[in-house]
């Protein structure tokens, strides 16, 4: 059971079903003692009570309920196996007790074993088993992620474009295809809440990496509304990411200050460096688009700029995905020093001022991630059992 809001988005807290089941298992030993005290007509507490009649194996079984409660609540790999083992053990114990104890109730036996069976079935569901084996699917334990739209789109060209910096007169972009020098193109600049449609001329081309070309664009024929929109955007960027370009010579010379609109993001691995387009970010990780080829569990370096300082953070690739937009990766930051942490928090704070949104996990995205990670779980065993007993749990 997922906790969703009205838009079908998963709320960032532990599912209520996990909490309810863990509480029920925690209270089960008390309920079992009360029922058995009533059936055997002995007091619950005091001399001669049901507690003093417990055998060592009875105590072990009651303890299994408490262990199962903890296993359900913590959502860990070992917890799933402990839960299933405990459920099977308690199921068998109930059957043995029924045949040994003449006072045992068939109705109580059926209800208890039915409850254990249904609980096991619930935890056999693919979308509940996956979070136990993949920490990244435990959304309630992740740092809040923030999404922000920071990009430049060449209207009429459906290609991935990464914008590096912007000024009142132009901008610099990275693309993985060639554009003719001197071409005038309509562009859309998006940065958080700001959306500005203008025309830009290709002024210069540079080979930045093996995958990317760098282009210097000059804005053309700006009207007062467009100029004011740019000024508002630059005032926002000025608070955290600026670079004075007065001392740059020749063709690089600019008459106005340029601002690193995407914090000069890049990814490097095995000496290969490539610009990156940020999709979302948190204090512990991010997801992005880049041309660098990486595999899950590989280490890379995440570079970002705040003010005039470039910070480098080691990161672990925890997932990857390729689609029409390019290669997408999920990174988990590792071993950040204090200056990098401070700069990262400043960058996130700046994104919020620019209009970043709290990232919500949709039910569709969550289910897709579960499907992608099922091979890392014992779901094949579950499928075998489901086919064996003709069980349909989803």
Q: How far apart are CA 384 and CA 369, in angstroms?
A: 22
Q: Give the SS3 label for residue 285.
A: strand
Q: Are residues 66 and 181 in the same domain?
A: no
Q: Are residues 29 and 64 in the same domain?
A: yes
Q: Are residues 232 and 151 in the same domain?
A: yes
Q: Are residues 76 and 206 in the same domain?
A: no
Q: What percent of the chain has pLDDT over 70?
A: 88
Q: How far apart are CA 229 and CA 68, in angstroms?
A: 58
Q: How many CA atoms lie within 13 A of 227 on its CB side?
A: 6
Q: Are residues 84 and 68 in the same domain?
A: yes
Q: Which residues pair with 190 in a beta bridge?
A: 151, 195
pLDDT of residue 324: 61
Contact 28, 82 (CB under 8 A): no
The CA-atom distances, in angstroms, between 162 and each of 75, 284, 291, 293, 300 are 39, 23, 11, 17, 20
pLDDT higher than threshold 70 for residue 392? no
Q: Are residues 129 and 154 in the same domain?
A: no
pLDDT higher than threshold 80 for residue 203? yes
Task: Provide CB contacts within 8 A for 362, sequence distance 6+.
Answer: 8, 9, 10
The backbone torsions φ and ψ at residue 77, rounded to the nearest 5 degrees and listed phi first, read -60, -50
Q: How many domains does the chain have?
A: 2
pLDDT of residue 249: 42
Q: Are residues 175 and 217 in the same domain?
A: yes
Q: Give the SS3 label for residue 340.
A: helix
Task: Provide CB contacts within 8 A for 243, sequence distance 6+.
Answer: 165, 257, 258, 259, 260, 308
The answer to the question of residue 94 being in a domain is: yes
The answer to the question of residue 364 being in a domain is: no
Q: Are residues 97 and 176 in the same domain?
A: no
Q: Are residues 94 and 174 in the same domain?
A: no
Q: Are residues 106 and 176 in the same domain?
A: no
pLDDT of residue 251: 46
Using 50, 70 and 90 to split pLDDT, how confident is the model at 3? Answer: low
The answer to the question of residue 353 being in a domain is: yes
pLDDT of residue 234: 85
Burial class (CB in 10 A: 0-12, 13-18, 19+), 286: buried
CATH number at residue 267: 2.40.10.220
pLDDT of residue 279: 86
Q: What is the pLDDT of residues 329-388, one digit of tens each?
A: 999 999 899 999 998 988 888 888 788 888 777 778 788 888 888 888 888 877 777 777
Q: How far apart are CA 201 and CA 25, in angstroms?
A: 67
Residue 137 is encoded by which pair of tokens? 């699917």
Mean pLDDT of the chain: 82
Q: Which residues span the domain enclosing 209? A: 145-358
Residue 319 is encoded by which pair of tokens? 């997932």
Q: Give the SS3 label for residue 138.
A: coil
Q: How far apart are CA 275 and CA 256, in angstroms?
A: 24
Q: How far apart are CA 25 and CA 16, in angstroms?
A: 14
Q: What pTM did the predictor assign?
A: 0.67
- Residues across the chain: 394
Q: Give the SS3 label for residue 173.
A: strand
pLDDT of residue 250: 40
The CA-atom distances, in angstroms, between 150 and each of 307, 355, 356 are 17, 10, 10
Closest Cα partner for 214 from 158, 152, 257? 152
């Amino acid at each position: 059971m997922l906790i969703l809001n009205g838009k079908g988005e998963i709320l960032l807290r532990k599912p209520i079903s996990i909490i309810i089941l863990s509480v029920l298992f925690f209270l089960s030993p008390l309920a079992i003692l009360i029922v058995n005290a009533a059936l055997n007509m002995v007091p619950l507490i005091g001399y001669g009570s049901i507690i003093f009649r417990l055998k060592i194996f009875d105590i072990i079984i009651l303890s299994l309920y408490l262990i199962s409660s903890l296993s359900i609540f913590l959502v860990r790999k070992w917890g799933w196996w402990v839960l299933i083992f405990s459920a099977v053990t308690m199921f068998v114990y109930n059957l043995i007790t029924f045949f040994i104890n003449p006072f045992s109730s068939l109705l109580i036996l059926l209800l208890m074993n039915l409850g254990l069976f249904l609980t096991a079935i619930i935890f056999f569901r693919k979308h509940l088993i996956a979070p136990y084996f993949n920490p990244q699917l435990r959304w309630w334990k992740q740092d809040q992620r923030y999404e922000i739209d920071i990009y430049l789109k060449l209207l009429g060209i459906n290609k991935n474009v990464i914008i590096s910096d912007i000024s009142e007169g132009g901008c610099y972009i990275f693309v993985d295809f060639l554009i003719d020098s001197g071409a005038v193109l309509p562009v859309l600049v998006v940065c958080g809440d700001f959306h500005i449609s203008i025309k830009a001329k290709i002024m210069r081309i540079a080979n930045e990496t093996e995958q990317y070309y760098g282009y210097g664009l000059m804005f053309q024929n700006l009207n007062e509304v467009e100029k004011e929109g740019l000024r508002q955007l630059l005032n926002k960027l000025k608070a955290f990411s600026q670079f004075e370009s007065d001392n740059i010579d020749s063709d690089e010379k600019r008459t106005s200050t340029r601002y690193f609109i995407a914090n000069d993001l890049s990814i490097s691995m095995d000496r290969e460096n490539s610009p990156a387009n940020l999709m979302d970010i948190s204090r512990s990780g991010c997801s992005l688009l880049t041309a660098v080829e990486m595999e899950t569990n590989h280490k890379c370096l995440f570079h970002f700029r705040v003010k005039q300082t470039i910070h480098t953070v080691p990161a672990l690739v925890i997932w990857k995905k390729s689609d029409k937009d390019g290669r997408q990766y999920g990174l988990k930051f590792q071993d950040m020093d204090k200056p990098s942490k401070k700069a990262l928090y400043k960058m996130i704070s700046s994104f919020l001022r620019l209009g970043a949104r709290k990232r919500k996990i949709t039910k569709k995205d969550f289910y897709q991630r579960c499907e992608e990670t099922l091979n890392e779980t014992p779901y094949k065993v579950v499928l075998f059992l489901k086919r064996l007993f003709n069980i349909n749990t989803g």
